[in-house]
Amino acid sequence: MDSNSKVKPARKKKKYSLVVSVLHDISKVVVRMKDVSILLKEVLDILHKQLNLTRGTVTLRNGDFLVIRASHGLSEEERKRGVYRMGEGVTGSVAERGVSRVIPDISKSPDFLNRTGSRTMRGKTAFLCVPIKSRGNVIGTLSIDRTRPTKYILRRDLRLLETIANIIADAVSVLFLEMAENEKLHAENRELRTKIDMELRPKNAIGNCASMLKAYELIAKAAKCDAHILIRGEVGTGKDFAMRAIANSQQWRNKPIETLDCSTMRDSLIDAELFGTYPSKQGLLEKADGGIVYLDSMGLIGQPLQVKLLKYMSSGSYKKSGSQKDFHSSARIIASTSGDLETRMRDGIIRPDFYYQLSVFTIFIPPLRERRRDIPALAKFFLQKHARLREKKINSISSAAMSMLCAYHWPSNVRELENCIERAVIISAGQNITESDLPPSLQTPQSTNTSKLKSNENIDFEKLVSEFEREIIVEVLAANGGNAAAAARQLSVTRRILNYKISKLNITPKSFKKSAPPAGR
């Protein structure tokens, strides 16, 4: 064996150790760092220190454009110039096609734009750019410059960049979601933000989406008048919070408030509690005279009770059970419901006059799935609340866990989110909420929109199983260079069973054999 053959394995081992060291350092940063912008900057700094790259950038998609969100080796002015249209130049084409590109010499590439103006274009400089994907969609790119590289280094760097892009994809998706929602919010609410003063926001209110800003405006108006109010929204959206915001306003905070949950009570009991019984029992309207009576979940009350409530809202007078005498109260009614009142009115369950009287002043609280931008802030608020209640030192949520929270459809809205965070705080063993701390319902393909199955399609079970078997066998054969015996050992099956599957699935092991090195090496 000549001296060259002795040197090359040691050199490859050294280069392999370098790649492992880079990935190890980056994985530690991903686990430790909570600020995604700082995380991306540290990833690029690690690549510079370990691999001696000249420049590095991370771009994120913003509509039809890509903008640089983190960089190494670029001035602030150069970074601001780094804006590309989808399909424009090397970076734009990588984002549009979702395929990595290597430009061995940028001075000889007609589609390398040098948009930042940071390169002199003298000397041989290579440019590598890989897509960053989230749930199959390209959300950005990761790129580096490499001065006078060899073909081996370019191949190594490309594989390394693609691996890093996969590692940071979850963290980047959080930043991408926040940026996309920020841009959407800015476009939708430019007029609304100038119109609504921040004083309209109720104390402790969390949320900046357009629909929540409209709700804040209505809550502020409701707090300054004595009209009867209907608060609508799905279960768990925070209708009680809206009522409390009105009751705690300056005009109402020192006045009486009475609440009645109508969801589990018969009409006769609601009647007795609300209007009272003669001569002995005071009703809530009497107790809260001058204040507020909150009727929670009142969408299912029967028509006789609707008539009595309609009369009170119209005239301020009512009759107690067992008396024909008129009583009077100035208590305002704040009612809430998650039901479809319009359908119930068409079906004759709700009287039209009662519906229209009740709907004069309506506040709508949007479901959480329509205000996803507010999820990170709500999750952090509930984390602080329940960590404090249980005296646990948990102060953050991992990027991957936050991505799962933002992707879930939240059928029970804010209430379900709080329950989810409370559970995570209880079972977490560290100072950081991770994916494993979240409920299994958040980790299903259906909840994260990654399911291969559609609810309305017929499923060919045998075909799906065959495709899954084929993917596993192909992956193991490729890892073992087409060696079926080694693949069988790794899969813990007999060679006969594996050969049967290979034949049945029309797999050709020879296509995975690694070519032998040239003679003399």
Per residue in 242-275, pLDDT tens? Answer: 999 999 888 998 999 999 998 888 999 999 999 9
Rounded distance, CA 260 to CA 276, Å? 13
Q: Does position 448 have pLDDT exceeding 80, yes or no? A: no
Instruction: Name the DSSP letter for residue 9.
Output: H
Cα separation, 487 vs 475, in Å, equals: 9
**Cα–Cα distance, 220 to 216 (Å, whole number):** 6
**In the chain, ranges of CATH 1.10.10 domains:** 461-512
Whole-prediction pTM? 0.53
Return the C-alpha torsion angle 242, 247, 252, 258, nearest 10: 140
Domain(s) of CATH 3.30.450.40: residues in the chain: 3-182
Nearest one of 224, 216, 218, 230 to 360, comparing CA atoms: 230
Q: How far apart are CA 432 and CA 394, in angstroms?
A: 6
Q: Is domain 368-443 annotated with CATH 1.10.8.60?
A: yes
The tens digit of pLDDT for each residue in 94-146 reads: 999 999 999 998 888 888 888 887 776 666 888 999 999 888 889 899 999 98
Calculate helix-pair angle for 495-504, 484-491, nearest 10 degrees. 110
Question: Which one, of 407, 416, 485, lies nearest residue 445 by Cα?
Answer: 407
CATH, range 461-512: 1.10.10
Q: What CATH class does 3-182 carry?
A: alpha beta
Contact 468, 434 (CB under 8 A): no
| 169-183: pLDDT as tens digits | 887 787 777 766 666
Q: Residue 184: pLDDT band by 50, 70, 90 thresholds?
A: low
Q: Which residues contact 257 (CB under 8 A, 6 or more apart)?
A: 247, 288, 291, 292, 293, 294
Segments of the chain assigned to CATH 1.10.8.60: 368-443
Sign of CA dihedral 355, 358, 364, 365: negative
Q: What is the DSSP string of 457-476?
A: S---HHHHHHHHHHHHHHHH
Architecture of the domain defined by 198-363: 3-Layer(aba) Sandwich (3.40)
User: Strand (E) positions, 192-256?
Assistant: 229-232
Q: How far apart (Å, rounded) are the C-alpha atoms in residues 454 and 302?
A: 40
